[in-house]
């Protein structure tokens, strides 16, 4: 119960069981929770990062080193921990990669802020310093970035391989194959807008997975894979040079919108009624036949009688296809989604070289392949176990995000911790020019950036202090700005020669998101949990005492 004093009068203004943490205590707890969350994912960073096994309440197992997935599955309860989860989600949504880095960076910024708070530096001074530092860091990042030629497959492959480097999926040849498939998929769906700038809608790269086979069986389908079976056993299972009709209407007798009752008084009337229904369905199939379509995909149902007539006409049909898959089919085949059979014409049809039904791991799936310049494609992932294909899916989504961000932005930077050390050095030089106390926060921002190469060195079993000192010294030399942590050889090396490239957009998003999250958390000096105590103990389900994560 929170209380206050007004003269000699005691004032109660929160319900019994409410929990309140004020001032420096609130800031300490918030910072401690953020650091704890960052430490939880820290060991997963880099090619030698370790995986986490997460077991849900139902016993479902997830094995991954993807930052966003780990935080999402951790089921954290503290409000600050939830903010850290949102930080990872935002990064994942915006650019698809860099989720672990952004969480580590946020934790380090708050750790530095905590040290300044202990030195009696006011939170608003730290926040202002961090804002100045973040703006300057983005400016420095742009200065160190390099232009990317979207037709340079070698550079795009290197960017993709860096993203895949930390994923525990297959050997180097399998990763190279996945990288090439992802790049090919991105290039296929890339469209140019009126100004000539690349426009990529990654929603049109469908990722379908099925346990079985090996990672090397993963393939790119120039079309769409539909996880459905053909509606009728009598329909053809394979059609070459398919003319495809996409329908958003049911091939069934529709019920009347108003209540109606039909009275049948004799068997003849019943027979005539059934015959009329059959005739209506036959006419529907006739309209499809007239349009010269030989493959039909519909979002709605198909009556058994209609299925029979379609099979008789040699037309393949798939029913109850998801709306998102229909849109992908339209993009891939060039067909127009028709809402009424009356409007169906030959010009509305799409084309695919092959439409066929295949049995994969005991389940029937329909492959719409060999489309002409499809603007929607499918990456079909295979792997030995469900856990493998799940991790493969997370990896390929990260690669698609990273490579498409690089293609859209047209710039990349040197990875392996090199860009962070470059920005940190330039920020320290800039801080000395800032006369006010904000320079202390700018220096802490620089220190936070260096946590990335330190974490990479730590995951490789290298001496972190020695590695950081060597990197700082190298970056002060004329050609030293490309030096980073060569994790595979446990030493510092030239990242440009090793081909360790990362999208500039991913790094920019990390700086912006981490900076804004740290500033928001630093503004909090009072936490009030109005939820009553539950039978399971004090603080359960709300804000745990001491700010601990449960």
What distances in angstroms separate CA 498 from CA 178, 407, 492, 538, one per listed residue? 20, 21, 11, 54
Residue 144, both tokens: 């160190």
526 in active site:
no
Q: Give me the catalytic one of 66, 97, 325, 447.
A: 66
Task: For the beta carbon of residue 47, count every other beta carbon within 10 angstroms.
Answer: 17
- Return all residues near 155 (Cβ < 8 A) that are at least 6 apart: 148, 149, 412, 501
Determine how β-strand 316-318 pairs with β-strand 198-199.
Answer: unpaired
Q: Helices (DSSP H) in 265-365: which residue ranges?
A: 267-290, 304-312, 323-333
Please count the helices (runs of H) and the strands (runs of E) in the chain. 17, 23
Q: Give me the catalytic one of 64, 99, 163, 455.
A: 99
Distance CA 113, CA 35 (A): 11
Residue 375, both tokens: 């603007």
Q: Give me the catalytic one of 92, 325, 348, 398.
A: 398
Q: Which of 490, 476, 495, 478 is nearest to 414 (CA)?
A: 495
Q: Compute the residue count for the chain.
A: 550
100 in active site:
yes
Residue 346, both tokens: 């030959």
Residue 494, both tokens: 């030239």
Residue with tokens 């998003």: 509
Residue 378, both tokens: 């499918």
298 in active site:
no
- CB contact at 8 A, 214 and 291: no
- CB contact at 8 A, 87 and 65: no
- Return all residues near 250 (Cβ < 8 A) that are at least 6 apart: 298, 300, 301, 302
State the DSSP H helix or E strand holding residue 536, giving kind and residue range, or none if neither. Answer: none
Give me the residues paired with residue 52 across strands.
64
- Return all residues near 23 (Cβ < 8 A) that are at least 6 apart: 525, 526
Q: Give me the catalytic one of 44, 69, 100, 513.
A: 100
Catalytic positions: 66, 99-100, 398
């Amino acid at each position: 119960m929170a209380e206050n004093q007004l003269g000699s009068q005691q004032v109660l203004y929160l319900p019994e069981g409410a929990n309140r943490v004020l001032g420096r205590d609130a800031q300490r707890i918030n910072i401690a929770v953020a650091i704890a969350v960052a430490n939880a994912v820290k060991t997963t960073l880099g090619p030698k990062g370790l995986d986490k096994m997460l077991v849900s309440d139902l016993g479902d197992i997830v094995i991954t080193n993807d930052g966003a997935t780990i935080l999402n599955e951790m089921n954290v309860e503290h409000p600050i921990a939830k903010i850290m989860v949102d930080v990872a989600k935002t990064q994942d949504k915006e650019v698809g990669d860099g989720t672990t880095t952004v969480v580590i960076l946020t934790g380090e910024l708050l750790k530095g802020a905590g040290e300044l708070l202990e030195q009696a530096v006011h939170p608003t001074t730290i926040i202002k310093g961090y804002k100045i530092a973040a703006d300057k860091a983005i400016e420095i990042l742009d200065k160190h970035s390099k232009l990317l030629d979207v037709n340079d497959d070698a550079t795009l492959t290197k960017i993709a391989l860096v993203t895949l480097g930390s994923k525990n999926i297959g050997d180097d040849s399998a990763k190279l194959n996945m990288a090439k498939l992802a790049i090919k998929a991105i290039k296929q769906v890339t469209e140019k807008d009126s100004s000539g700038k690349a426009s990529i809608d990654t929603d049109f790269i469908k990722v379908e997975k099925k346990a079985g086979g090996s990672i090397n069986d993963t393939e790119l389908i120039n079309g769409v894979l539909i996880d459905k079976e053909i509606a009728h056993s009598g329909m053809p299972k394979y059609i070459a040079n398919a003319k495809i009709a996409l329908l958003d209407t049911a091939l069934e007798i529709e019920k009347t919108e108003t209540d109606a009752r039909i009275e049948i008084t004799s068997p003849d009337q019943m027979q005539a009624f059934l015959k009329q229904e059959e005739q209506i369905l036959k006419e529907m199939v006739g309209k499809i036949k007239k349009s010269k379509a030989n493959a039909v995909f519909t979002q709605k149902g198909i009556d058994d009688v209609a299925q029979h007539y379609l099979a008789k006409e040699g037309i393949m049909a798939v029913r109850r296809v998801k709306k998102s898959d229909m849109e992908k089919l339209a993009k891939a085949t060039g067909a127009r989604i028709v809402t009424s059979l009356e409007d169906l014409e030959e010009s509305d049809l799409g084309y695919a070289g092959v439409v066929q039904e295949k049995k994969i791991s005991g389940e029937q799936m329909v492959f719409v392949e060999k489309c002409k310049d499809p603007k929607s494609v499918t990456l079909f992932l295979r792997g030995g176990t469900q856990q493998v294909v799940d991790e493969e899916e997370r990896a390929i989504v990260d690669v698609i995000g990273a490579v498409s961000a690089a293609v859209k932005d047209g710039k990349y930077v040197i990875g392996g911790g090199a860009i962070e050390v470059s920005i940190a050095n330039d920020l320290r030089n800039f801080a000395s020019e800032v006369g006010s106390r904000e320079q202390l926060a700018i220096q802490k921002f620089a220190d936070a950036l260096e946590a990335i190469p330190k974490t990479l060195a730590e995951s490789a079993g290298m001496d972190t202090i020695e590695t950081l000192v060597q990197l700082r010294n190298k970056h002060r030399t004329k050609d030293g700005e490309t030096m980073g942590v060569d994790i595979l050889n446990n030493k510092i090396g030239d990242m440009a020669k090793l081909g360790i490239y990362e999208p500039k957009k991913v790094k920019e998003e990390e700086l912006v998101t981490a900076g804004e999250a740290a500033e928001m958390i630093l503004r909090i000096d009072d936490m009030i949990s109005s939820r009553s105590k539950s039978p399971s103990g004090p603080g359960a389900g709300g804000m745990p005492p001491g700010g601990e994560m449960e």
